[in-house]
């Protein structure tokens, strides 16, 4: 493989793909500039690691495009002390970005093999002490550690799962893509006491959010 200056590519990603668009949260930009996206991808795809595009990571799953990671993270309006739940660990890249920004992340993945791979990478990068990993059905969230100040879902659901809304703290924000396979919309759902606000943000394309019965090797 040809030598690639990953640090320079990452800085270019932030300046060209993110700052020149609508990503203005300096903490998000700093996290995206620090986390080595290529390490969460197959080696044969490293030369494409900082392109603004999703990429396959196995098991019919993808690592999201950098802009979408930045957009969803910025939409959460995170504070350092926020309790964050991630549904869909996947490659672990979004998990690492979150771990750069908050004290602790709870992450749920339905595919054990993906979770173990992501966990290994996150441990090597020194993030594991800030992350609680769980194999489980993302539709039901992680009630044991609720409520959460922020929940991010990295797969498209048919509708907003009620369990995730109930696990939001007062003032909590949920960012989730809804609709599959076409016409997906990214939503932000905010709890304000007993009131639930729902905003449509932008169109998007994500892999579907699945149940255990949809994962043949689930264990």
Residue 213 vs residues 72, 140, 156, 178: alpha-carbon distances, Å: 28, 14, 17, 20
Per 3-state DSSP, the chain is made up of helix, strand and coil in percentages (nearest 5) of 35, 30, 35
- DSSP letter, residue 158: S
Considering the candidates 64, 91, 128, 216, report the single residue annotated as catalytic.
Answer: 64
Q: Is 128 among the catalytic positions? A: no
Distance CA 189, CA 176 (A): 8
Q: Is the C-alpha dihedral spanning 14, 15, 17, 18 positive or negative?
A: positive
Catalytic residues: 64
């Amino acid at each position: 493989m040809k030598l690639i200056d990953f640090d320079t590519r990452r800085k270019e990603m932030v300046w060209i793909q993110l700052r020149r668009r609508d990503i203005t949260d300096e903490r998000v930009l700093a996290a995206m500039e620090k986390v080595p996206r290529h390490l969460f991808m197959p080696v044969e795809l490293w030369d494409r690691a900082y392109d603004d595009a999703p990429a396959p990571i196995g098991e019919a799953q993808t690592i999201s495009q950098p802009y979408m990671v930045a957009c969803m993270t910025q939409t959460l309006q995170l504070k350092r002390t926020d309790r964050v739940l991630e549904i869909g660990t996947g490659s672990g890249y979004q998990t690492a970005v979150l771990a750069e920004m908050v004290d602790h992340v709870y992450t749920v993945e339905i595919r054990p093999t993906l979770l173990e791979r992501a966990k290994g990478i996150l441990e090597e990068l020194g993030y594991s002490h800030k992350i609680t990993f769980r194999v489980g059905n993302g539709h039901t969230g992680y009630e044991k550690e609720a409520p959460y100040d922020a929940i991010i879902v990295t797969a498209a659901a048919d509708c907003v799962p009620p369990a995730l809304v109930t696990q939001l703290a007062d003032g909590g924000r949920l960012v989730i893509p809804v609709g599959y396979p076409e016409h997906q919309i990214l939503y932000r759902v905010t709890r304000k006491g007993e009131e639930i606000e729902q905003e449509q943000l932008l169109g998007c394309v994500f892999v579907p959010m699945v149940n255990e019965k949809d994962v043949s090797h689930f264990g």
